[in-house]
């Protein structure tokens, strides 16, 4: 048990370093920086190259990593985040996701995707105490983490620039009126946050010994959970949250196994938020939800006349008869993600609540349909509809306590809900076969006809998408839809009119989960094989990004967003390995220059 606790402290120290940078940035700019994990990977791979190819020691390597990641943080804020000032914070959040994709795929292009051994910049496993083996690298990491936290605390409390950071985090406008250079302070915050992430990458490499360019994403998400547990914006909270999460993970995995990692991590997030909504050391004055609404708050969907909608429907229904197998395969992906995204416009668009964990109900729908078809021999259409209902019920049960939260913690809690759903699927082996997945899922069969070709499946997906668009559009134009719009437009005013905003958000989320479940069912029967790795955080972010690009209040915009984000990378195959990097660039460019979405106009 002692070695388990020690391993938890080591991991927790790494989480704390990254989480402190996240909390510092969030406190000053109100930006949830999802690129922080990618900067960890930049620091790790830079240290690997310097230590392996050039033979540098730990001190010059650390200095180089500090310079590289510090410049990276400055460039990211100056070119991407600062231009988004004054817009809804979800714009900056998604921009950091785009930056993360650029960094991750840039690292893959430069260094390749293979796993490699990290150089022994400091001795590892050369010390022993009470039967526990550890290394000089572990001791240095803990000492560095402690000194970094104390140094940052002293800087913020006594340093002139540190006091300016604190003033800016409390009230940027007042700080500006007092002569504090707010833009410079925000640049400084991003530099400090990036440096802490980069240095933690060195220690992560030393502790794990084997690395690849994608390692940063996992630790970045876990560190974000740690920062939230401690209380976003709280530096001491980030330290406590990082160490606590490291210990919880280490002890939990020792009892439940590594397959329960996500359940432990995100389950801890949900439990802490339910018990203490603002985090362990977060302030009680939680602001109103910052991760809601369209970027400008004034974007309006473009409404086509009836004949325009009819023409688009006829065109969509005709395409399966002319598309090749390849184009039909791409079309099925576009249609499936469109179905989930169109449903999401009800909660993230109309009701104004950002959902960051839609992969959860998507997975539940896929597995429910697969199990009903393979274990109970249900016909496809019955399994398809029941899968949507099961996804809606599961999502509603798990999010029931979430709606009492306030501020940004609601959106963050949905990350945990989605991850917990997938984690339960992974560990419920008697029913789901765990990590092995479910094979032999039958092709969709409608009215006795097995849909075994790409064109047939694409036609089915298009029909379901059209029906989804009709239903969602009718909901939006109904009394219920107008209530959703009222809740999303002004939650406080809605509550003053005795509207139970939490209940209506829960209903909108259940509807969105139902359509995500339908999309998951279609995916399962067309893949014929599913496993938990398909339903990761990237899927959740992709579905959200689709409606952001199309226009968060626009169902048709969601379809256009899916065409761009799903079909676009296929068209970019000419760029080979750089196509996903170009996709990240495209995401950032659209957020910067078309903030209301592709299929919406300014109010």
* Residues 194 and 330 placed together within one structural domain of the fold: no
User: Which residue range forms the structural domain that includes residue 342?
Assistant: 325-570
The whole-number average pLDDT for the span 405-433 is 87
Phi, psi values for residue 450, rounded to 5°: -80, 125
Structure tokens at 249: 């993970």
- The secondary structure of 184-224 as a DSSP string is HHHHHHHHHHHHHHHHHHHHHHHHHSEE-TTHHHHHHHHHH
* Residues 94 and 237 placed together within one structural domain of the fold: yes
What is the total count of domains within the chain? 2
At 183 the pLDDT is 86
Tell me which residue of 346, 353, 380, 416 sits closest to 518, measured CA to CA.
Answer: 380
* Residues 197 and 336 placed together within one structural domain of the fold: no
At 294 the pLDDT is 42
Task: Please check the confidence at residue 391 and state whether its pLDDT lies above 90.
Answer: yes
| Residue 584 resides in a domain | no
* Residues 223 and 338 placed together within one structural domain of the fold: no
At 389 the pLDDT is 97
* Residues 56 and 133 placed together within one structural domain of the fold: yes
At 20 the pLDDT is 86
* Residues 334 and 243 placed together within one structural domain of the fold: no
Distance between CA 366 and CA 135 in Å, rounded? 45
| Residue 530 resides in a domain | yes
Return the top range by mean pLDDT from 78-87, 166-175, 253-262. Answer: 78-87
At 576 the pLDDT is 54
> Which range among 37-46, 127-136, 394-403, 407-416 shows the weakest confidence by mean pLDDT?
127-136
* Residues 343 and 254 placed together within one structural domain of the fold: no
* Residues 105 and 228 placed together within one structural domain of the fold: yes
Phi, psi values for residue 595, rounded to 5°: -65, -25
At 530 the pLDDT is 94
Task: Please check the confidence at residue 189 and state whether its pLDDT lies above 80.
Answer: yes
Structure tokens at 557: 């915009």
Q: For residue 574, what pLDDT band results from cuts at 50, 70 and 90?
A: low
The whole-number average pLDDT for the span 297-314 is 76
Distance between CA 258 and CA 14 in Å, rounded? 19
CA angle 208, 211, 213 (to 5 degrees): 140
* Residues 340 and 222 placed together within one structural domain of the fold: no
| Residue 356 resides in a domain | yes
pLDDT tens per residue, range 504-544 = 999 999 999 999 999 999 999 999 999 999 998 888 888 98
At 390 the pLDDT is 97
| Residue 160 resides in a domain | yes
Structure tokens at 146: 């402690």
Q: For residue 284, what pLDDT band results from cuts at 50, 70 and 90?
A: low
At 522 the pLDDT is 96
Does residue 539 or residue 173 have the better pLDDT? 539
| Residue 575 resides in a domain | no
Task: Please check the confidence at residue 439 and state whether its pLDDT lies above 50.
Answer: yes
| Residue 77 resides in a domain | yes
Domain end (from 244, 263, 282): 263
Phi, psi values for residue 298, rounded to 5°: -125, 10
At 300 the pLDDT is 65
Distance between CA 148 and CA 154 in Å, rounded? 10
Characterise 488 by phi-psi region: left (phi > 0), alpha (psi -120 to 50), beta (else).
alpha
CA angle 277, 280, 286 (to 5 degrees): 45
H-run or E-run covering 460: helix 454-477
| Residue 466 resides in a domain | yes
The whole-number average pLDDT for the span 306-329 is 89
H-run or E-run covering 133: strand 132-134
* Residues 257 and 330 placed together within one structural domain of the fold: no
pTM of the model: 0.85
Q: How far apart are the first and last CA of the chain?
A: 60
Q: What is the mean pLDDT of the chain?
A: 85
Structure tokens at 372: 């009903």
Domain end (from 263, 286, 306): 263
The whole-number average pLDDT for the span 241-263 is 84
The CATH number that applies at residue 169 is 1.10.3470
At 407 the pLDDT is 65
* Residues 145 and 61 placed together within one structural domain of the fold: yes
Q: For residue 601, what pLDDT band results from cuts at 50, 70 and 90?
A: low
Task: Please check the confidence at residue 104 and state whether its pLDDT lies above 90.
Answer: no
| Residue 447 resides in a domain | yes
Domain end (from 243, 263, 283): 263
Per-residue buried b or exposed e for 167-185, using 16+ beta carbons within 10 Å of the residue's own CB: bbbeebeebeeeebebeeb
> Which range among 67-76, 145-154, 402-411, 576-585 shows the weakest confidence by mean pLDDT?
576-585
* Residues 220 and 354 placed together within one structural domain of the fold: no
Does residue 167 or residue 99 have the better pLDDT? 99
Task: Please check the confidence at residue 292 and state whether its pLDDT lies above 50.
Answer: no
At 295 the pLDDT is 43
């Amino acid at each position: 048990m002692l070695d388990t606790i020690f391993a938890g402290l080591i991991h927790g120290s790494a989480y704390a370093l990254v989480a402190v940078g996240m909390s510092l940035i969030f406190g000053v700019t109100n930006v949830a920086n999802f690129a922080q994990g990618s900067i960890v990977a930049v620091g790790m791979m830079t240290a690997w190259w310097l230590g392996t190819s050039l033979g540098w020691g730990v001190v010059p390597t650390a200095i180089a990593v500090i310079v590289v990641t510090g410049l990276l943080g400055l460039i990211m804020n100056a070119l991407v985040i600062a231009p988004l000032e004054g817009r809804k914070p979800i714009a900056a959040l998604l921009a950091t996701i785009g930056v993360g994709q650029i960094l991750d795929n840039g690292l893959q292009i430069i260094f390749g995707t293979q796993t490699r051994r990290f150089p022994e910049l400091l001795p590892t496993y050369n010390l022993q105490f009470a039967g526990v083996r550890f290394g000089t690298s572990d001791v240095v990491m803990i000492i560095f983490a402690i000194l970094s936290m104390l140094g940052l605390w002293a800087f913020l409390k006594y340093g002139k620039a540190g006091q300016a950071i604190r003033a800016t985090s409390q009230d940027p406008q007042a700080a500006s009126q007092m002569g504090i250079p707010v833009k410079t302070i925000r640049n400084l915050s991003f530099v400090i946050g990036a440096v802490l992430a980069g240095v933690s990458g060195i220690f992560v490499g030393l502790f794990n010994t084997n690395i690849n360019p994608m390692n940063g994403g996992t630790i970045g998400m876990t560190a974000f959970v740690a920062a939230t547990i401690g209380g976003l914006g709280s530096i001491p909270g980030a330290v406590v949250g990082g160490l606590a999460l490291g210990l919880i993970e280490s002890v939990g995995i020792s009892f439940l196994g590594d397959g329960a990692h996500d359940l432990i991590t995100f389950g801890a997030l949900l439990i802490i938020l339910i018990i203490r909504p603002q985090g362990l050391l977060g302030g009680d004055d939680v602001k109103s939800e910052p991760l809601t609404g369209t970027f400008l708050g004034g974007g309006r969907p473009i409404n086509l006349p009836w004949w325009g909608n009819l023409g688009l429907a006829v065109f969509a229904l005709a395409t399966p008869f002319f598309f090749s197998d390849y184009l039909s395969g791409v079309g099925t992906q576009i249609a499936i993600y469109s179905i989930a995204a169109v449903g999401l416009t009800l909660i993230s668009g109309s009701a104004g609540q950002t959902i960051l964990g839609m992969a959860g109900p998507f997975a539940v729908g896929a597995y429910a349909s697969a199990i009903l078809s393979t274990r109970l021999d249900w016909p496809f259409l019955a399994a398809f509809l029941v899968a949507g209902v099961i996804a809606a019920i599961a999502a509603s049960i798990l999010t029931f306590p979430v709606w009492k939260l306030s501020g940004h913690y609601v959106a963050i809690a949905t990350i945990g809900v989605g991850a917990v759903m997938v984690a339960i699927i992974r560990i419920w082996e008697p029913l789901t076969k765990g990590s092995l997945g479910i094979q032999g899922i039958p092709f969709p069969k409608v009215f006795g006809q097995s849909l075994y070709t790409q064109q047939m499946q694409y036609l089915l997906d298009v029909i379901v998408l059209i029906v989804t668009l009709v239903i969602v559009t009718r909901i939006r134009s109904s009394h219920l839809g107008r209530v959703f719009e009222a809740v999303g437009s002004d939650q406080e005013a809605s509550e003053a009119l005795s509207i139970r905003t939490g209940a209506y958000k829960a209903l909108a989320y259940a509807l969105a989960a139902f359509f995500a479940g339908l999309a998951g069912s279609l995916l399962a029967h067309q893949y014929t094989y599913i496993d938990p790795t398909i339903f990761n955080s990237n899927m959740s972010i992709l579905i959200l990004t689709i409606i952001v690009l199309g226009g968060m209040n626009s169902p048709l915009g969601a379809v256009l967003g899916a065409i761009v984000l799903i079909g676009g990378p296929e068209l970019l195959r000419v760029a080979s390995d750089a196509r996903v990097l170009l996709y990240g660039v495209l995401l950032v460019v659209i957020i910067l220059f078309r903030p209301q979405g592709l299929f919406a106009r300014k109010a």
